[in-house]
Structure 1
């Protein structure tokens, strides 16, 4: 097994502070700091140095991270080769993703995996896009779904393989008595005078909406801010504004709102990517899980084009 302290050093390299790395790995900062000091003492080199309020890797620390990533890739290749020799597909495989990916993609994939491979042990973990890289490198997950706009630059590294999984269209969400409620499609130009409900400026919902509207010459007038879907649909249902939501997020039922496809030249969408540790692709457990995820993406009813759809049942779970 690869020394787990090497993955702690990689996390500090990614996040810039021991505290941030510890939080991402669900460890205590003091515990991470202690283990890295032990590693440095064993190697008789300085791995970290202070730089203002942050820490940065010394040249020796940077060199060790490079070797650690190469060792991780070799270890994944060894695991893949060993697992391929097994007569039956068995053992754990952990799939990570953000909330809407869990409901629409990961859950049906795991149901299929459990049905087709009874000795396989698939596990779902909620992991936000910005945490995907560290979760992969630390071994918390084996596969991770993330939104490209949030994390492409953070995840697309030489030690991680990234695969495009699907494009998720952004639909319009309006109250049932809105002027768009009976439309089969609405362009962003038609909605230029509307008040919007969107995420905060740093959140992906706002970033996607702003980019799409700016491309056609205006910025949305955001009246209320919310990223969580239940809160957003409650405000839309109350007539406080309209919203733009990813199509797969609307696979459940929500109160007194109408979901309408956006049309026109500027149709916002988000790219959902699949990330895995380099060297693990040939592991039969992981390859089988990738196939199940691709099948989920291809067969997802939530992604099928449709006209206006009314949701008038209260959700039982947030």
Structure 2
């Protein structure tokens, strides 16, 4: 193994021409400089210096080594720079998983901001919903999860996770264009009690969220349709086949067939969104930076 410090001593001797001058430049004693150069030669099995008048010069082997030493020094400095950057969260890989609407509204803008601020930090975004998001954290497949705590998820005091509130997202009533509730200044959720309802089977436990919100408003919804994702849900609403509750962050089709009605009153529903990391990982610079940017983007949404 070659000690990088000995290569620096050799470079100083070559630059200054004498052991004494090199020692002064490196704040060492002349004997220490000589010992370092001799030890380096022994490690490599070659002579590195020969006398020349009152000074010394590098042997041909020393010249060859010095050429490589300069390249090695450059690589070493780059390694130190990369390590420092990694420690500051500017390099490495940050993996963020989120449920579908949070991917578009939160994770994607965060990835774009990180690319601009830390271009050498690789950001990987994954779409994971419910309990599997927590499993991805434990398995090391994710560093940050943006999650709505599912009914079967870990409790708030689970020691494996650091769970931090990100935002309280209101749930809006989605109705077909021309619906009687459209355009009303104030609408309570219980005014939709007699409607036919549409539920998603998967999206962030949306059916459970609808059921809980309607129960809090004093009624049980009549489900006319259940489909697997928001594309189908909104298509059914836009066709006049029912209404549903959906997150404020959800983008509606541009054809205007679905109208967003904001709900008021004590029973106006919302869902709590959290950032979740493995316990002990919150202070990792890249994780801390990612969480901070998620909070910035969430605040910008103004939901």
Which band: TM-score by shorter chain? 0.5 to 0.7
Q: Is the 8 A contact 2:149 2:274 kept in 1?
A: yes
Q: How is 1:97-108 mapped onto 2 (pairs within 5 angstroms)?
A: 97-108=98-109
Contact 1:148 1:270 in 2 (8 A): no
1:146 aligns with 2:142: no
Runs of 4+, deviation exceeding 6 Å: 82-85
Residue 192 of structure 2 corresponds to residue 210 of structure 1: no
Residue 191 of structure 1 is matched in structure 2 by: 192
- Number of aligned residues: 221
Q: Is the 8 A contact 1:169 1:268 kept in 2?
A: yes
Give runs of aligned pairs for residues 24-39 of structure 1, distance below 5 A. Answer: none
Name the CA shift for 1:128/1:187 in 2 (closer, same or farther; >3 Å).
Answer: same
Q: Shift of residue 228 of structure 1?
A: 1.1
Larger radius of gyration: 2
User: Taking structure 1 as reference, are residues 172 and 153 closer, same or farther at Cα in structure 2, changes over 3 Å only?
Assistant: same
Report which stretch shifted further, 175-184 or 249-258: 249-258
Give the match for residue 234 of structure 2: 233
1:276 corresponds to 2:258? no
Structure 1: distance between partners of 2:92 and 2:198: 44
Q: Specify which structure has the bigger relative contact order, considering alpha-carbon pairs within 8 angstroms and separated by 6 or more residues.
A: 1
Structure 1 counterpart of 2:224: 223
Matches of 1:126 and 1:155 in 2, distance apart?
A: 22
Q: Write out aligned runs for 1:115-194 (5 A).
A: 115-150=116-151, 152-153=153-154, 157-194=158-195
Q: Deviations over 1:59-91 (max 9, x none)?
A: xxxxxxxxxxxxxxxxxxxxxxx8788467211
Residue ranges of structure 2 left out of the alignment (5+ in a row): 1-82
- For 1:300, the equivalent position in structure 2 comes to 301
- SS of the residue 1:219 aligns to: coil
The two structures, once aligned, show a CA RMSD in angstroms of 2.4
Give the 3 Å change call, closer, same or farther, for CA 98–83 of structure 1 in structure 2. farther
- Check the 8 A contact 2:130/2:204 in 1, yes or no: no
The Cα of 1:149 is off from its aligned counterpart by 3.6
Identify which range, 110-119 or 86-95, moves more after superposition.
Answer: 86-95
Superposed CA offset, 1:32-67 (max 9, x none): xxxxxxxxxxxxxxxxxxxxxxxxxxxxxxxxxxxx
Offset at residue 298 of structure 1 (A):
0.5
CA distance in 1, matches of 2:95, 2:174: 33
C-alpha displacement at 1:155, in angstroms? 7.4
Q: Give the match's secondary structure for 2:140.
A: coil
Query: Does the Cα contact within 8 Å between 2:95 and 2:141 map onto a contact in 1?
Result: yes
Q: CA distance change for structure 1 residues 131 and 85 in 2, over 3 Å: closer, same or farther?
A: closer
Q: Is the 8 A contact 1:175 1:239 kept in 2?
A: yes
Shift of 1:226: 2.2
- 1:128 shift after superposition: 1.4
1:32 equivalent in structure 2:
none
Shift of 1:103: 0.4
Q: Do the aligned partners of 2:200 and 2:230 also contact (CA within 8 Å) in 1?
A: no
- TM (norm. structure 1) is 0.64
Aligned equivalents of 1:87, 1:210: Cα separation in 2: 45
2:11 maps to: none
Alpha carbons of 1:221 and 1:83: their partners in 2 closer, same or farther (altered >3 Å)? farther
* Map of 1:247 onto structure 2: 248
Check whether the contact 1:83–1:283 (CA below 8 A) recurs between aligned residues: no
C-alpha spacing 1:122/1:155, structure 2 compared with 1 (3 Å): farther
Distance 1:218 1:192 in 2: 6
